[in-house]
């Protein structure tokens, strides 16, 4: 059977981590990378053809403007984020094993929530969640979204498990809607799935006049029906604390996604998003979950030896001195 262009057929590799062994959703993922492989996988070089210096003035202007399109110099913060995401995806699948029935347990619980429109309902109380959450906060233009995009580029987004007739989505990234409502956040989720799978969830589910609780229940059920490895919610600062029903309702929904549904979640936003996770200490711990990263600009090399090494590596690569393609 020919697969869509964005889908790969599952190839299983035994994991070196005992807790991951025998789990098709984990063993179909790319092998774990060491630090060198992570840096090589994320890096993007400056590609320059010496013959371009003989091009006309206007042509050179276009060539120069595109020189840095693929440039990316991995720093220690990027390597740290890749490790966290790698752990989040794999650990989140531990409690949703396709082979031992634990994923079906989550799906049965999800069916009950959809039928009753209540996110707190469980049919099987023993369903285990091994998911965690992460908040990534930084100023606009600091490279948060670019880094996440490059990290996810090392994963196939859609994996087809032929033996189980099951389609796995390793990651899903959505932008928080500008009107800041939880309802439109759900619609963005279904729309993103439709783009990847060529399905019609937005029309079939979001097109109906469902209440927010029903939409949230459907969103969580569909996420498990496709074994979404991690959900990334970008521009989280757009979430309106008043229109979304208040901070408590928002946090309860996010906590339910992680602790009950078993779906790892990464929140990405500017410092304006910090009040969402810092209403009180308990909520802050909930929002942090796996940890919280403050995405800061590169530190001045004058006062920090580590920053100095990274700055030299960055400038060498950017000037083409560290690239074999210059």
Q: What is the pLDDT of residues 259-299, one digit of tens each?
A: 777 889 998 988 887 776 665 434 444 444 566 788 876 66
Query: Is residue 106 a part of any domain in this protein?
Result: yes
What is the pLDDT, as a whole number, of residue 288?
Answer: 45
Domain hosting 224: range is 8-31+77-295
Domain shared by 93 and 152, yes or no: yes
End-to-end C-alpha distance for the chain, whole angstroms: 42
Residues 210 and 137 occupy one common structural domain: yes
Q: What CA–CA distance (Å, rounded) separates 2 from 201? A: 23
Number of domains in the chain: 2
Please report the pLDDT score of residue 317 as a whole number: 58
Residues 306 and 228 grouped into a single domain:
no
Q: What is the pLDDT of residues 179-213, one digit of tens each?
A: 777 888 888 999 999 999 999 998 888 777 777 78
Position 237 confidence tier, pLDDT thresholds 50, 70, 90: confident
Residue of higher predicted confidence among 301 and 254: 254
Q: Which two tokens mark 3? A: 């697969």
pLDDT at 14 over 90: yes
pLDDT digits (tens, 9 = 90+) for 30-68: 999 999 999 999 988 777 788 888 888 898 888 888 877
Q: Give yes or no: residues 64 and 91 share one domain.
A: no
Average of pLDDT values for 154-182? Answer: 91
pLDDT at 300: 61
Q: What is the mean pLDDT of residues 166-190?
A: 88
Tell me whether residue 326 is in a domain. no
Mark whether 125 and 140 lie in a shared domain. Answer: yes
- d(Cα 223, Cα 282) in Å, to the nearest integer? 26
* One domain, residues 52 and 85: no
Assess whether 43 and 103 both reside in one domain. Answer: no
Are residues 39 and 25 part of one domain? no
Residues 176 and 310 in one domain: no
The mean predicted confidence, pLDDT, of the chain is: 82
Pair (264, 314) in one structural domain: no
Interior/surface letters 66-83, b for 16+ CB within 10 angstroms, e for the rest? eeeeebbbbbebbbebbe
Distance CA 56, CA 59 (A): 5
DSSP helix/strand/coil, 267:
strand
Does 324 map to a domain?
A: no
**Is there a domain that residue 67 lies in?**
yes
- Inform me whether the pLDDT recorded for 245 exceeds 80: no
Q: Is 256 helix (H, G, I), strand (E, B) or coil?
A: helix
- pLDDT value for 105: 84
Residue 19 falls within a domain, yes or no?
Answer: yes
In a domain, 53, yes or no: yes
Asked whether the beta carbons of 201 and 87 are under 8 A apart, the reply is: no
Secondary structure string (H, E, C) spanning 126-143: CCCCCCCEEEEEECCCCC
């Amino acid at each position: 059977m020919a697969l869509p262009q964005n889908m790969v057929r599952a190839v299983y590799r035994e994991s070196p981590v005992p807790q991951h062994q025998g789990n098709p959703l984990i063993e179909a993922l790319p092998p774990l990378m060491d630090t060198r492989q992570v840096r090589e996988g994320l890096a993007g070089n400056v590609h320059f053809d010496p013959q371009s210096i003989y091009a006309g003035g206007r042509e050179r202007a276009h060539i120069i403007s595109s020189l840095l399109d693929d440039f990316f110099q991995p720093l220690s913060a990027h390597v740290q984020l890749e490790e966290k995401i790698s752990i989040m995806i794999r650990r989140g699948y531990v409690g949703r094993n396709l082979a031992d029935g634990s994923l079906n347990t989550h799906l049965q619980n999800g069916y009950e929530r959809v039928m009753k429109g209540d996110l707190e309902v469980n049919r099987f109380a023993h369903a285990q969640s091994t998911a965690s959450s992460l908040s990534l906060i930084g100023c606009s233009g600091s490279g948060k979204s670019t880094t996440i995009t490059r990290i996810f580029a090392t994963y196939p987004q859609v994996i087809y498990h032929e033996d189980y007739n099951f389609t796995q989505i390793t990651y899903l990234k959505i932008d928080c809607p500008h009107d800041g409502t939880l309802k439109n956040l759900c619609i963005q989720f279904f729309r993103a799935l439709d783009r990847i799978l060529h399905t019609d969830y937005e029309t079939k589910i979001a097109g109906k006049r469902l209440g927010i609780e029903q939409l949230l229940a459907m969103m969580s059920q569909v996420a498990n029906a496709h074994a979404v490895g991690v959900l990334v919610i970008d521009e989280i600062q757009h979430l309106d604390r008043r229109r979304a029903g208040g901070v408590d309702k928002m946090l309860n929904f996010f906590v339910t996604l992680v602790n009950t549904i078993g779906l790892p979640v990464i929140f990405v936003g500017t410092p304006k998003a910090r009040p969402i996770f810092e209403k009180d200490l308990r909520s802050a711990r909930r929002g942090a979950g796996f940890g919280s990263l403050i995405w800061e600009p590169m530190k001045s090399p004058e006062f920090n030896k580590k920053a100095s090494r990274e700055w030299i590596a960055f400038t060498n690569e950017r000037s083409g001195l560290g690239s074999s393609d210059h």
